[in-house]
Amino acid sequence: MPFRRTHIWLFVAMSGSACAAEKEPRAAKAAEPNPVVQEVLERCSDFAARLCASAAECCEGSTGAFSAERCASSFVSEFCGSASQAVGAGHAIYEPEAEEPCLAAWARAHATCVVDWNEIISIRRDVWAACKMVQGTYELGQGCSTSSTCPQPEGPATGRCLPDPTTRQPTCQVLEILGEEAECRFPNGDVSVCDVGLYCTTTERDVLGTCAPAVPEGQACDRDVPQNPECGLGSYCGLGDGLCHRAENFGGPGCAQGAECVSFTCQAPGPTGTCTEALTTAADLCSRGA
């Protein structure tokens, strides 16, 4: 059952006659810990320990030394604290039944460890659909300071506290995988992105585009357009042959443009260009436990 503030009752007996009989004022008692906050913090801390443990093999194989305990401590400090306070203040509800599906979704992601863009989209769907433990009570578009207060939509989408595209002030927004003809923003940072097989027509950060069918792999594209997006994220328009190719360089030499890299970053693009290593599915947790 969800942890709601109304689910935990505190009964305080106060006797007027007893107070009247006191001759000396008593020192003010320290505020009792909010039992809702304590319970959510404990559950979230246990979740953090299990989540970090599931990432250990991926992190050790990609970054070397990894401390699951340090990872969990960082996760608790950054996420669990604000989440438990939001629930305690009535700005969110904690759904413990979502813990196991969420851990299972992340375990599947961590097992793959290093993936390309198509697999990233699949993982986002899986994780976003499952990980809805903290259900914020704020409205979409409402100002926020933490994602814990933002509502979580049904299905493969997630609510986040992000800068508004226009005002730049943090508001509750939805991140999702967009279908054909949906409005889209330039795919940089925390934004909704077009599904596999589609691409966003905009080439500027502050200009809206739409999700349109991408040019299939092996078919012709316009190589004269810088960073041509028409092959879709995770693919690129070959500067030499003018054909769409799937990005398969997970890190190493051989890139003329960032789109040729799974990481989307090519150091010194050109004949001697080198792709930076692609991030793992556990990259955030790996950095916490480094």
The residue type found at 286 is: C
pLDDT at residue 205, as a whole number: 84
- The total domain count for the chain is 2
Residue 80 lies in a domain: no
> In whole angstroms, what is the distance from residue 139 CA to residue 207 CA?
25
> In whole angstroms, what is the distance from residue 168 CA to residue 165 CA?
6
pLDDT at residue 31, as a whole number: 60
Q: Do residues 228 and 251 both lie within one domain?
A: no
CA 187 vs CA 30, 158, 211, 223, 286: distances in Å: 50, 17, 11, 20, 24
Helix (H) / strand (E) containing 58 = helix 35-63
Where in the sequence is the domain holding 192, given as residue range(s)? 179-235
Q: Which residues in the chain show pLDDT less than 50?
A: 1-29
Residue 60 lies in a domain: no
Residue 36 lies in a domain: no
Strands 170-178 and 193-194: parallel
Distance, CA of 119 to chain centre: 15
Residue 264 lies in a domain: yes
pLDDT at residue 204, as a whole number: 87
Find where tokens 């979740």 sit: 47
Q: Do residues 223 and 184 both lie within one domain?
A: yes
Q: Do residues 188 and 218 both lie within one domain?
A: yes
Helix (H) / strand (E) containing 72 = helix 68-75
Residue 185 lies in a domain: yes
Residue 253 lies in a domain: yes
Residue 91 lies in a domain: no
pLDDT at residue 16, as a whole number: 33
Q: Do residues 193 and 229 both lie within one domain?
A: yes
Q: Do residues 226 and 267 both lie within one domain?
A: no
Residue 287 lies in a domain: no
Q: Do residues 211 and 252 both lie within one domain?
A: no
Strand partners, 252: 275
